Amino acid sequence: MNISEFMADHHRACDDEYVKAEGLVVDQNWVEANTSFANAYADFNLHFKREEETLFPAFEEKTGMAGGPTQVMRSEHVRMRATLDELKNHLEAQDKDKFLGLSESFMILVQQHNMKEEQMLYSMMDKVFGAESENLVKQLP
């Protein structure tokens, strides 16, 4: 599996878990929503970690582009992390309306970010790394 395939699949996995949590909040099934949200939270953070600690530094080293697209992706991660924390607070407070209202923004933020990565960054990475791409995927946590 190259970077595009592996990381895009992981985007879908994050979405699935998050959407499941969101659906449980709609039903006000707080116990299961908590578990599901905790899984999604961990998934998103694992995804950010894979990029920030392995893929981005490798890409920056190879291309010499430190202030380019990876930097933008990093700053979007900061924002998504902050929104995830805010969502967590609404979940703990069992505030359905606040959670779902913010969830709307979060989902667009995430999907927009994923598209930029899937349509541009990952394919650039696969081109830059060539055959190395699969090895990098294997090294990911």
Partner 1 sequence: MFNSSLSLDQAPPLKIPLRFFITSPIFGLLAGLFILGFVSSLQARSSLSVVVFTHLITLGFLAMTMLGAMFQMLPVTAGVTLKHQQIIAPMVHGLLTAGLLLFAYAFYNYQPTLMIVAMAMLLSAFLVFVVATISTLKNAKNITPTIKAFIGALASLLVALLLAGYLVLSHVNTGFSEYHQAVVYTHIIFSLLGWIAMLIIGVSYQVIPMFYVADAYPKLYTKYAIKVIFILLVGLGFSLIIDNPSLYLLFKVFVALVLADYAISTIGLLLNRKRKIIDTTTYYWYFAMLMLLASIGLSVANEWLHMAQLNTMVVVVFIYGFAMSVITGMMYKIVPFLVWFHLTNEGYMSMPTMHELIGKKLTTIQFILHVLTLLSLAIFAFDSSFQIATGVLMVLSNALLLANLIKGSKIYFTKRGLQKMSF
Question: Closest approach of Cβ 72 to partner 1, in Å?
Answer: 4
Question: Closest approach of Cβ 118 to partner 1, in Å?
Answer: 10
Q: How far apart are CA 74 and CA 67, in angstroms?
A: 10
Q: How far apart are CA 107 and CA 42, in angstroms?
A: 16
Question: Closest approach of Cβ 6 to partner 1, in Å?
Answer: 18
Tokens of 112: 């927009």
DSSP string for residues in 7-69: HHHHHHHHHHHHHHHHHHHHTT-HHHHHHHHHHHHHHHHHHHHIIIIIIHHHHHHHH--SSSH
Identify which of residues 111 and 139 has a Cβ nearer to partner 1 in the complex. Answer: 111
Tokens of 10: 């992981």
Q: Which residues bind partner 1 (CB under 8 A)?
A: 15-16, 19, 22-23, 26, 63, 65, 68-69, 72-73, 75-76, 79, 97-98, 100-102, 104-105, 107-109, 111-112, 115-116, 119-121, 123-124, 127
Question: Closest approach of Cβ 117 to partner 1, in Å?
Answer: 9
Q: How far apart are CA 95 and CA 87, in angstroms?
A: 10
Identify which of residues 33 and 69 has a Cβ nearer to partner 1 in the complex. Answer: 69
Identify which of residues 97 and 130 has a Cβ nearer to partner 1 in the complex. Answer: 97
Identify which of residues 50 and 114 has a Cβ nearer to partner 1 in the complex. Answer: 114
Question: Closest approach of Cβ 132 to partner 1, in Å?
Answer: 17
